[in-house]
Amino acid sequence: MTSAATSEPPRAPPVRAFRRPSVIALVWVVVAGVFVAQNIAEGRSQSGVVPWLPALWFELEYWLVFALCTPFFLRMARQFNFTEGTRRRSLLAHLCAGAVFAVVQPVAAEGLNYATLFVIDGGAGPRVDRALPNAIHFYPALVIIALWKYAVIIGICCGFEYYRRLKDSGIRNAMLEAQLAASELRSLKMQLHPHFLFNALHSAAMLTLIEPARAHRVLVQIGELLRTTLTSSSAIEVPLVEEIAFLDRYLGIERLRFEDRLTVCFEVPEELERALIPSLILQPLVENAIHHGFSADSAARRITVRAAEREERLELEVEDDGAGLPNGWTFGSSAGTGLSNVQARVDLANTGSHPLVFGPGRAGGLCVRLVLPLRRGDMAGVA
């Protein structure tokens, strides 16, 4: 299909170091060790006798409950991480989760401590007798301590989650910048192709003899398209409305080749105009539809570009009413580097495999569908 001087980049490796069991275990052993050392030092300074059982074993049992709850902490930090627009919901979720944890953690820790005393003292003795009354007496204080420790842990986990997202985003942005540079080079090559420019300028020249006003509009479109491409910034993402404006200028020139045969329709809801998409992601699909759907013997007349929101995702379609895919066509064996470039950038934007969907259009022909994360941004301004 269409060509492009680019290849699929490696995917950004996610940062998962702080979710490995060995790392989690090491962190909690270090935390417990700090409090064990504190208890030993306190015992020596007060009486010169080290209470080894509460200083070591009880402390390890206390922090074991925290270690076992680490997956819960990480999940809460990941789903409710106080990003913009979710702070109130995240605060409410952490207040509820923290309250539940603070109520349960002292019970579990004191239960482990009681079981240890029961085994060591043979089920009877002053320490066993005092364990339950002491636990009940100090329970309110232990709940408060568990609550603020939950807040500290969640704060640390949110910091690691922010670091992970920032690092993954930096790697993805670097890859997208490389893809964008290659895509811009391919777009320039197509637009500056001598045959393409000759046909467009020749049509404009012929129009000057019969329709000077239309010829003037064509020349303005050519100039605007070249200016937009040559002066466009290296932005990784652009608002959808800006991409549509670029396509409209490109298609305005292509209409010269097909006169009244080519009709273009943009079905983009107003609420999606600010949705951010990878720059130049749709142009290869439109070019493909023109070059393969509007052959000399084809009755194709219409290209439709659609945008819709589906389950908090942005769904884009480029549809033509041409002949559709040839028999035996598959993406793996027949797609050129232009479509491969689009697929690679879609995968990169989704941080995972998200294949393009090729199927029949609503009125025959071919419809190519891609899905992107739905993110809205400020209007960058249409060049």
Q: Is the pLDDT of residue 9 over 50?
A: no
Q: What is the pLDDT of residues 156-196, one digit of tens each?
A: 888 888 888 777 777 777 777 767 655 655 554 454 445 55
Query: Which residues are CB-neighbours of 231 under 8 A, at least 6 positions away?
Result: 383
Quick one: average pLDDT of 46-65?
A: 75
Q: Which two tokens stand for residue 80?
A: 């409710």
pLDDT in tens, 15-39: 444 457 888 888 888 888 888 887 7
Between 324 and 51, the higher pLDDT residue = 324
Q: How many Cβ atoms from other residues are within 10 Å of residue 10's Cβ?
A: 8
Token reading at 348 = 């990169």
Instruction: Find all residues with CB under 8 Å of 107, minimum gap 6, and list them.
Output: none
Higher pLDDT, 34 or 147: 147
Q: What CA–CA distance (Å, rounded) separates 295 from 278?
A: 29
Percentage of the chain beyond pLDDT 90 is 16
Considering 136-150, 196-210, 223-237, 286-300, the range whose residues carry the highest mean pLDDT is 136-150
Which residues have C-beta within 8 Å of that of residue 259, sequence separation ≥ 6?
none
Task: Tell me which of 259 and 31 has the higher pLDDT.
Answer: 31
Q: Indicate the SS3 state at residue 275.
A: strand
* Residue 294: strand, helix, or coil: coil
Residues β-bridged to residue 302: 263
